[in-house]
Structure 1
Amino acid sequence: MTKKVNISTDSGADVEFVSAALAGKLKQHRKQQKLSLDELSRRAGVSKGMLVEIEKCIANPSIAILCKLAAALGISVADIVNVASTPPVRLIDAQDIPTLWNGPLGGSARLLAGTSGPNMIELWRWQMQPGERFESAGHPAGTLELCHVEQGQLLLKVDQTELIVSAGCSAIARTDVPHYYANEGETPLVFSMTVAELHQLAGAH
């Protein structure tokens, strides 16, 4: 059975899985880098109170907070949820692939696999029911996303640009700006996504 981690822009993470993993990773990497809670709070733009709750495993961090903390610590979200590529060749069982977003109408986003940060690549599979949308305030500078629609129609808006990506078509976008994915059609949407966070692109425009 796939682990469900009910993360969205509006709801928090499942305490049984992501909160426990994040608490351990946060403490581990903070100690390795000799960062105080105050310094990590400043770097990540996350309140010190939230960090304390995360380390005590009593917080429900949103997907946006996971991304901010991963970026501030130089790791990836895949590191946090234990689907990163360490050791170099590794099998990830179907039961260990987490669902990191559950839509209000039954949609989902699964992080299939990923590499460790800070430069990282992630492989996702999204399913969205008609009327569902996922919004992001923007990822770290230099983030690229490649999407391929398998079924339905994806509405992708990145900053001021809007694309309609039909089944069989692909799209490339730099997503270090506000963006969203939506299914405004009448049938279910299924698409795969590769996310690459490449810091050498951070200053390129």
Structure 2
Amino acid sequence: MASSGPEGKASEFAGATPPRVGEMIQRLRSERQLTLDDLSRAAGVSKSMLSEIERDKANPTIAVAWRLTNALGISLDQLFAQQRPVEAIRVAGPHDIPTLTGDNGGYQLRVWGPIELAGKFEWYELTLQTGASLNSEAHEPGTREHLTVLNGAIEIKASGSARRLKAGDTARYAADEAHAICNVGRAEAKALLIVIHR
């Protein structure tokens, strides 16, 4: 989840036509008179990855995009604003939803919330394979998570405690310290995860 949300070991955006933001990142970097090395160090993104992104050879994960926008002094919404047509009603199809994976494919996070709310209010569909866990470092002070189990059995570990949940249960807990969401059942588990930043 970006430093502001579930990051884990994020993979690439999933989708048929992910947004191309490389040209804009390169332009913003040039306007700020930053070298590739400068932005790489400031964002904590490898120089080779940054180069690939700027040449539209790779698309950043939400975590990487968040670090780049922070380093460039803009919001995620500003980064993606020029990629979207103005519409009264925007509809995102299944292939337009960014998906993060980690734990060697053990979990999948579908990012249902709009990118412009990242770092404020985020919601995800979390799928956990048997025995898999989504382990997160501490988020910003005051961040809380709300997790509703849709099916399966999930254990939440937070603030030195552990609670087991079944389908229909909702857990609300502090996420400003390390925490984990674990599938402790015998089948795939699925949950709605909401992250609220203070």
What does 1:55-70 correspond to in 2, within 5 Å?
A: 55-58=54-57, 64-70=63-69
Unaligned residue ranges in structure 1 (runs of 5+): 1-7
Distance 1:94 1:15, change over 3 A: closer
2-side partners of 1:40 and 1:171: how far apart? 38
Larger Rg, first or second structure (1 or 2): 2
Residues 5-50 of structure 1, C-alpha deviations (whole Å, 9 max, x = no match): xxx8457426987986353453355457x26245533443334444
Unaligned residue ranges in structure 2 (runs of 5+): 1-6
Q: CA deviation at 1:132?
A: 1.3
Distance 1:160 1:64, change over 3 A: farther
1-side partners of 2:120 and 2:46: how far apart? 25
2-side partners of 1:180 and 1:35: how far apart? 40
Partner residue, 1:26: 25
What's the TM-score, normalizing by structure 2?
A: 0.67
What's the TM-score, normalizing by structure 1?
A: 0.65
Distance 1:67 1:152, change over 3 A: farther
Over the matched positions of the two proteins, sequence identity in percent amounts to: 27
SS in 2 for 1:27: helix
SS in 2 for 1:92: coil
2-side partners of 1:18 and 1:163: how far apart? 39
2-side partners of 1:152 and 1:103: how far apart? 18
What does 1:7-156 correspond to in 2, within 5 Å?
A: 9-10=8-9, 12-13=11-12, 21=20, 23-24=22-23, 26-27=25-26, 29-30=28-29, 34=32, 36=34, 37-58=36-57, 64-72=63-71, 73-76=73-76, 89-101=89-101, 104=104, 107-116=107-116, 119-156=119-156
Residues 38-82 of structure 1, C-alpha deviations (whole Å, 9 max, x = no match): 5533443334444234323456866654443354454349x66x9
Partner residue, 1:3: none
Q: CA deviation at 1:148?
A: 0.8
Moved more, 121-130 or 63-72: 63-72
Following TM superposition, where does structure 1 have runs of at least 4 consecutive aligned residues deviating by more than 6 angstroms? 15-20
SS in 1 for 2:25: helix
